Amino acid sequence: MRFQDFINRDMVLLNLGDTLEKAIKSLKQTKLNMLPVVNDQWKLIGVFTRINLYNALLNKASLDNVIDPWIVKDVLSKLQEDMSLETVEEITKKSTVGSAPVMDKEGNVVGVLTKTNMILSLFKKSSLINAQLTAGLDAMSNGVVAFDDKGCISLTNKSAEKMLGLGNSKSLGLPWDKVIGGLDLQPVLKQGKVKTGLKYVRGNMVTIVNIMPIIDDVTVKGAVAVFHDLSELKQMTQELEVTRSLNRTLDTVINSIFDGIVVVDERGYVTLINQVLADFLRINPTEVLGKHITKVLENSRLHIVARTGVPELNEVQNIGDKQYLVSRLPIIKNEVPSGSVGKVVFPQLPEIQELVRKLNTLQGKVAYYEEELQNSKIKQLEVMKIIGTSPIMLELKGEIGKVSRTNSTVLITGESGTGKELVAHAVHYESKRKNRPFIKMNCAAIPENLLESEIFGYVPGAFSGANRNGKPGRFELADKGTLFLDEIGDMSGRLQAKLLRVLQEREFERVGGTKTISVDVRIVTATNMDLEKAVANGTFREDLYYRLNVINLHMPPLRDRKNDIELLSVSFINKLNRILKTEITQLSPEVLDIFMNYSWPGNIRELQNIIERAANYATKGEILPVHLPLNMLKPKENMQLTPDGTENSYRDTLKKTQKEMIIKALEKSGGNKTKAAKLLNMSRNNLYSTLQRLGIK
């Protein structure tokens, strides 16, 4: 239970200059004996109580008089809404005041606490503790019986009723010697002595009893007897012996096999390791017990399998400077992962060692293809939804449909953020190569010294740090499919020459290799540069430019297709509602007007980011101008002419609209700023700063 749950937030605040008549109505409305008095920033400056009201009326003050002379200003509230319930209880016990204001961290008044609230909270807390105690006792396997100071039974748990044959309703209030004969409570109740290890027999039930006095200060108020069933203990002892026997058998078995075995618990700590694996790792088996598996095998995944419950069979793992086949199996208990077992196969036959090497070679390709296949499925769905009904976009979609049927090289141009990669995906997935790989690479995102090996691949030992088995390049991976090279304008002159050769010959060599590799790949490139200027400046090869620019698809900037802004916004809102769990319905007409008059230097990417920002502030309903970034509201960028020919900025219009909306919300909430903030889909702090910025009192 939290202190915040007992704060009375349905309050009315008074300000300096308010009349006695308003104070009377507020006291009557809230039914409180005290109302906080705050300044314009909601900071506490005093309180006005019913006693203050009576004093004012006794001094013949009229209802039109202000409350200022009667305010108690030397009030220092000690109550903070983030206090613990225990701290508030201590303050309330020592206080002679019936109610007090509650503050937040910034010193703003957020509510009022009355002693009535506190008493109700203590009742609820007491009820909760009683329910927890009862549940705890009933969950115990031991029998528990409590007695009052006269030796009468006051409480029994379910285990005691079962062990002793008691009926809870029938035994309560009866003396112990009438219900539990042969058990002497006198030394405990009269002298406060502790009795332990008493043997108590009831029928066929043999128990051990511990009896403790209940002492309040120095007075014995009763006693508690705990009964432990010896027959259950005997059964547990037998089961323990069986378990020990099984453990001895298991220990013998795992130390007899030739594979390495290690077992971890659900957190990944070693609970068992066989001698074969310990000898291989040159460690003492007893010294690694209780250590995390990553301290024993650095690159182990046993702790992950123990957490996820997903088995990993016949995987290749590096141990030292060699590779071994390992299997990792989860230990499932009650359908929940509770650990895992790892098995290391130590291959001796050359055939098995060769298999390990081949597996390692294929592993990278398989993982890459799986990732690309998943990404391709997602992108294929997105391509079907290229948004735009403006004439320029309809023309572009028609061009994509035509060029997709061929194998010609395509150059996609356009400013950053216009969606050039989406066009590349469309060209691939509407072509005959759609069921083949779509491999993409950003030429600007990879360091120059690694770019060549990424494009063309490399042979084993080609350079320091290279994979010992070599690595296929993007051209090999894209064979029979499409290779998309983004930011092609950032490629160095040396790589431009090698790329030109591949385009002409359709063959290449890996870095460090001599074997010629032939591929069937369609090349799609993209850039936001003016490649004709780059050719003129000598930074881009002219012959390569003409090879790449067989077909040019230009992605228009958003400012040239503003008729699509509303459709794009609706799509982004629907997507963000699913991701952010918001309930945005639409753009307000004012926001749409701002969007239509904005220059959009960041294009579609900027539109998506602005809508995501607004969705975080609005959370539901319409996106309003107040949810937009200030840079969109600059007068110079958003100037328009009024009907009489004078200039009027959007900022002035938006400021006026914001002011009217906030005033209406305050009127509807009766001046309660917290409720007004909820009506406006704003945080309380955001409302305060907006009130101050707009000059609203």
User: What average pLDDT does the structure give for the chain?
Assistant: 81
Helices assigned H by DSSP within 217-301: 230-254, 275-281, 285-288, 293-296
Distances from the Cα of 655 to the Cα of 41, 616, 682, 685, 693, angstroms: 21, 21, 16, 18, 10
Fold of 359-556: Rossmann fold (3.40.50)
pLDDT band at 427 (very low <50, low <70, confident <90, very high): very high
pLDDT value at position 556? 93
pLDDT band at 643 (very low <50, low <70, confident <90, very high): very low
Contacts of 367 (CB under 8 A, 6+ apart): none
User: Dihedral of the CA atoms 612, 614, 617, 623 (nearest 10)?
Assistant: -130
Q: Which of 318-322, 337-341, 644-648 has the lowest mean pLDDT?
A: 644-648
Contacts of 404 (CB under 8 A, 6+ apart): 426, 427, 428, 430, 431
Which of 531-535, 652-656, 669-673 is most confident? 531-535
pLDDT value at position 612? 92
314-341: average pLDDT: 85
Q: How far apart are CA 15 and CA 46, in angstroms?
A: 10
Q: Which residues in 644-668 are b (16+ Cβ under 10 Å) and which e?
A: eeeeebbbebbbebbbebbeebbee
For 255-346, give the CATH class. alpha beta
Q: Is 430 helix (H, G, I), strand (E, B) or coil?
A: coil
- Containing 526, the helix (H) or strand (E) segment is strand 522-527
Q: How far apart are CA 134 and CA 27, in angstroms?
A: 43
Which of 109-123, 444-458, 674-688 is most confident? 444-458
Which token pair is 459?
Answer: 């042979």
Q: How far apart are CA 470 and CA 457, in angstroms?
A: 8
pLDDT digits (tens, 9 = 90+) for 662-692: 888 888 888 888 888 877 767 777 777 778 7
- Comparing 541 with 229, which gets the higher pLDDT? 541
Which token pair is 626?
Answer: 């107040």
- Comparing 469 with 27, which gets the higher pLDDT? 27
DSSP annotation of 43 reads B
643-647: average pLDDT: 41
Which of 5-9, 277-281, 584-588 is most confident? 584-588
Please check the confidence at residue 576 and state whether its pLDDT lies above 50. yes
- Containing 148, the helix (H) or strand (E) segment is strand 143-148
Number of C-beta neighbours around residue 521 at 10 A: 23
Q: How far apart are CA 309 and CA 339, in angstroms?
A: 8
Please check the confidence at residue 106 and state whether its pLDDT lies above 80. no
Q: How many CA atoms lie within 13 A of 332 on its CB side?
A: 8
- Comparing 649 with 322, which gets the higher pLDDT? 322
pLDDT digits (tens, 9 = 90+) for 14-49: 888 889 888 888 888 877 778 888 887 778 888 888
Q: Is 218 helix (H, G, I), strand (E, B) or coil?
A: coil
pLDDT value at position 381? 45
The strand pairing partners of 113, in sequence order, are 100
Q: Is 481 exposed, middle or buried (0-12, 13-18, 19+ CB in 10 A)?
A: buried
Contact by Cβ (8 Å): 140, 146: no
For tokens 């109302």, the residue is: 35
Q: Identical fold at 3-122 and 559-694?
A: no
Note the CATH architecture for domain 559-694: Orthogonal Bundle (1.10)
210-224: average pLDDT: 86
- Comparing 284 with 652, which gets the higher pLDDT? 284
Instruction: Find the farthest-apart pair of alpha carbons in the chain and give their distance in angstroms, rounded.
Output: 110
Q: In this structure, which CATH number among 3.10.580.10, 3.40.250.10, 3.40.50.300, 3.40.50.720 belongs to the domain 3-122?
A: 3.10.580.10
Please report, for the chain, the start and end positions of each structural domain, with discontinuous segments joined by +.
3-122, 140-233, 255-346, 359-556, 559-694
Contacts of 538 (CB under 8 A, 6+ apart): none
Which of 170-174, 208-212, 378-382, 423-427 is most confident? 423-427
Q: Which of 90-99, 369-378, 519-528, 553-562 has the lowest mean pLDDT?
A: 369-378
Q: Which of 252-266, 321-335, 512-526, 650-664 has the lowest mean pLDDT?
A: 650-664
Q: Among 111, 141, 125, 118, which residue's Cα sits nearest to residue 36? A: 111
- Comparing 466 with 45, which gets the higher pLDDT? 45
For tokens 């004093």, the residue is: 55
550-560: average pLDDT: 93
Q: Is 440 helix (H, G, I), strand (E, B) or coil?
A: strand
Q: Is 544 exposed, middle or buried (0-12, 13-18, 19+ CB in 10 A)?
A: buried
Fold of 140-233: Beta-Lactamase (3.30.450)
Contact by Cβ (8 Å): 269, 290: yes
Q: Which of 95-99, 325-329, 525-529, 576-580 has the lowest mean pLDDT?
A: 95-99
pLDDT value at position 638? 41
Q: Which of 153-167, 340-354, 420-434, 501-515 has the lowest mean pLDDT?
A: 340-354
The strand pairing partners of 640, in sequence order, are 648
For tokens 């035509």, the residue is: 402
Please check the confidence at residue 185 and state whether its pLDDT lies above 70. yes
For tokens 């067989």, the residue is: 550
Q: State whether the Cα torsion 450-452-456-462 is positive or negative.
A: negative
Q: How far apart are CA 341 and CA 259, in angstroms?
A: 12
In this prediction, what percent of the chain has a pLDDT beyond 70?
84
Which token pair is 111?
Answer: 């509510």
Distances from the Cα of 154 to the Cα of 81, 149, 157, angstroms: 39, 10, 11
- Global pTM value: 0.43
pLDDT digits (tens, 9 = 90+) for 79-102: 777 787 777 777 766 655 567 788
Q: Which of 152-161, 226-235, 477-486 has the lowest mean pLDDT?
A: 226-235
Q: How are the residues of the chain apportioned to helix, strand and coil, as percentages rounded to the nearest 5?
A: 45, 25, 30
pLDDT digits (tens, 9 = 90+) for 589-599: 999 999 999 99
Please check the confidence at residue 645 and state whether its pLDDT lies above 50. no
Please check the confidence at residue 178 and state whether its pLDDT lies above 90. no
Please check the confidence at residue 627 and state whether its pLDDT lies above 80. yes
Which of 115-119, 238-242, 251-255, 609-613 is most confident? 609-613
197-210: average pLDDT: 81
Contact by Cβ (8 Å): 602, 586: no
CA-atom Rg of the chain in angstroms: 39
Q: How far apart are CA 125 and CA 118, in angstroms?
A: 10
pLDDT digits (tens, 9 = 90+) for 238-297: 677 777 777 777 777 777 677 888 999 999 999 988 888 888 888 888 888 999 999 888
